[in-house]
Amino acid sequence: MKNLPHLVPSTTFSGRPGPLLLIIMDGVGLGKHDDSNAVFLAKTPFLDSLKTHPLYTKLKAHGKAVGMPTDLDMGNSEVGHNALGAGRVFDQGASLVQKAFDSKSIFHGSTWKKVIQNCIEKQSVLHFIGLLSDGNVHSHINHLKSMINQAVQENIKTIRCHILLDGRDVPNETALDYVSQIDSLSEMLQEKADIKIASGGGRMITTMDRYDADWSIVERGWNAHVLGDADPFNCVKDAIDNAYENKISDQFIRPFVIVENNKPIGPINDGDSVIFTNFRGDRSVEIAQAFEDADFNHFNRTRRPDVCFAGMMQYDGDLNIPKQYLVNPPQISNPISHYLCGTKIPSFAISETQKYGHVTYFWNGNCSDYIDKNLETYVEIPSDKCPIEEKPEMKAFEITDKTIELLQSNQFKFGRVNFPNGDMVGHTGDIPAVIKSVEVTDNCVERLVKAVNDLNGITIILADHGNADEMYTIKNNKKIIKTAHSLNLVPFWIIDADYQQEYIINQNIHGGLSNVASTICHLLGYNPPPDYNSSLILFDH
C-alpha cells in the first residue's frame, strides 16, 4: 500500500467520544411546498422536528458545484459522491467530455484513430451503443451526432446506432424526439454513408445494469445489439408506438431490432468497431466486460465478435475497464478516505447494491478497491429484483439494522450510509410509492440518529441531489410526471447530542457537497487538508 497522507489533530475541537455517522438520503432535496413535492407530502415527523435545528444549512448539489458544465445541469449520485469524498470540485464526465468535443481533441486521440482505421482497413461497420437523450447524466445526444459527422468525414461508409431510451433523466415519452434527430442527420448524410438505428430498448431493462444487480439486463442488450435477437420492427417509430399503446414508458421499452426482409439490419460482427457512448461509469462497466472479457460467465453470449471496442471514458480505472477509451476520466487525488486511513481512523461504508458503489467506488475517487482493508469495512445489502415501486422501502430497514450493529460494535470512528429510496423510487414517477419511500427513510434516519446519540457521537444528514422533491412540472397547463433529478438545494444537518455551542454553521459561504469532507475532518477532531474546500462549521465565533 502506498504512503497515505494523514490529518493533523485540531487544537480547537477534539471530537466526541462516539462515532461520526454520515447519512446520505439519496434524492431527497428541498422542493416547493406543494403536491409536486413527495418529500413535502410525506409524513416525516423526524425530519420535520429538525426544521428549527441550529446546525442546519442548504447545499448546492448540481451544476458547477459538483463539476458539471453549467448550473443548468442536474447533479447525480456519481458526481455527488465524488464531491463528498473528494472535498474539492473536479471536472466530471460531462464536463471533460464536452471539453474534448469543443476542442475536437477527442478526434485526435489514438483510440478514435484506431476505431476509424479498423473500419477503413476491414471495410466494416462502425457501431454506437448508448443512452439517447440530452439528460447529460450518462450521455448527450450531441456527442453521438458529432461522432457520426466526424466518422463520415473520415470516410466511414456504414454506421449503426443501438439506442437506449431514457425517460428518466429526461421526461417520459420523449424518445421519438431524439430518434428524429438521428433520422434527420442520417437523411442529411445519406449520400455519403449508410446510417441507421439498428436496435434499442429501455435503459432499465436493456444493457445498462450496474453493480452486478441484474445481468439479464445486459444479456437482453447483448442479444439485441450483437446477435440481432429481439422483438422485430420495420422502424423505430413502430417499436416505440407499440410500447406506448401498451402503457410502457420509455425506460422500460422491450428490446427491439430493426429488420429489412425479416433480417436484422445491424448485428455486430467480427471486424467491426464499437463505441459505447455513455460517459458515466456505473451503468457502463458490465456491457464493456461483455465485449472485452475472454473469461466471462455472467450469461451465454452465444458468440463474441472480434471487434475494436472503446468506451467514451474509462469506467473503472482499477480494473482497466474498458481497455480503450476516448476521454480520460477525472483524476481525483487524495479523497478523504486516504486521509482517514493514513490517520488510522477505522471506518465503514454501507448501502444496498443499487448505491453500494457510490459509498465505495465514487466516494473513494473512482477507486473500486479498499484503500486499507485493515481499517475499512464495506457492507453491501443485496437489492431486490422486483419493480422498485412495488417495494418502496427497498432495503432501508436492513441497512438500518446492520448500521446500528456496526455502530454498537464500537470498532468504528466514522461511517457513511446511503439510503437509495428517494432517488431510485423517485425515478419511477409513482408518487404514492415515492411518498412511502421518503416516510421509510425518515423512520430509518431517526433510528440511526438515536443510536449515534446513545453512543455520544455526531450525525450528519444530507442528500446528494434532489429527485423526490420534484415529481411533476406544468407545461401548457398540463401536469407532466418528472422522473429526473431536480436542480434544488439539498438539506444539511449536524446532530450533536453533546453540543455546547463549540461551533456554528458558517452561513457566510454558499456551500456545496464538496464542503462536507472538511466538515467531517473538523467533527472528528482534525484540521482539514489545506487544499480542501472550506468546512461548513466555524469554531471562532
Query: What pLDDT digit, counting tens, does each position of 348-391 carry?
Result: 999 999 999 999 999 999 888 899 999 999 999 999 989 999 99
Query: What pLDDT digit, counting tens, does each position of 237-263 carry?
Result: 999 999 999 999 999 999 999 999 999
Task: Tell which residue, 434, 281, 469, 448, has the closest CA to residue 358.
Answer: 281
Q: Count other C-beta atoms under 10 Å from residue 105's C-beta.
A: 13
Sign of CA dihedral 399, 401, 404, 409: negative
pLDDT of residue 478: 84
Q: How confident is the model at residue 107 (pLDDT cuts 50, 70, 90)?
A: very high
Question: Which of left, alpha, beta for 402 (phi over 0: left; psi -120 to 50: alpha)?
Answer: alpha
| Alpha-carbon span 19 to 340, nearest angstrom | 13
Q: Which helix (H) or strand (E) holds 461?
A: strand 458-462
461 grid coordinates = 444528514
CB-based contact 146:327 (threshold 8 Å): no
Query: What pLDDT digit, counting tens, does each position of 110-156 carry?
Result: 999 999 999 999 999 999 999 999 999 999 999 999 999 999 999 99
Question: Which of left, alpha, beta for 429 (phi over 0: left; psi -120 to 50: alpha)?
Answer: left
| Alpha-carbon span 258 to 403, nearest angstrom | 48
Active-site entry in 36, 77, 249, 486: 77
Query: What pLDDT digit, counting tens, does each position of 385-437 carry?
Result: 899 999 999 999 999 999 999 999 999 999 999 999 999 999 999 999 999 99
Q: Which helix (H) or strand (E) holds 419?
A: strand 414-419
Q: Which domains does the chain have, with CATH numbers?
A: 8-91+331-538 (3.40.720.10), 95-327 (3.40.1450.10)
Q: Is 77 a catalytic residue?
A: yes
Mean pLDDT over all residues of the chain?
95
Q: Which residues pair with 162 in a beta bridge?
A: 129, 199
380 grid coordinates = 453491501
| Alpha-carbon span 344 to 480, nearest angstrom | 50
| Alpha-carbon span 393 to 352, nearest angstrom | 12
Q: How confident is the model at residue 69 (pLDDT cuts 50, 70, 90)?
A: confident
Which residue shows C-alpha cell 481497455?
323
Residue 269, CA distances (Å) to 111, 122, 127, 237, 306 in order: 20, 12, 10, 25, 7
CB-based contact 442:13 (threshold 8 Å): no
What residue ranges in 72-141 does DSSP mark as E strands? Answer: 126-132
87 grid coordinates = 472535498
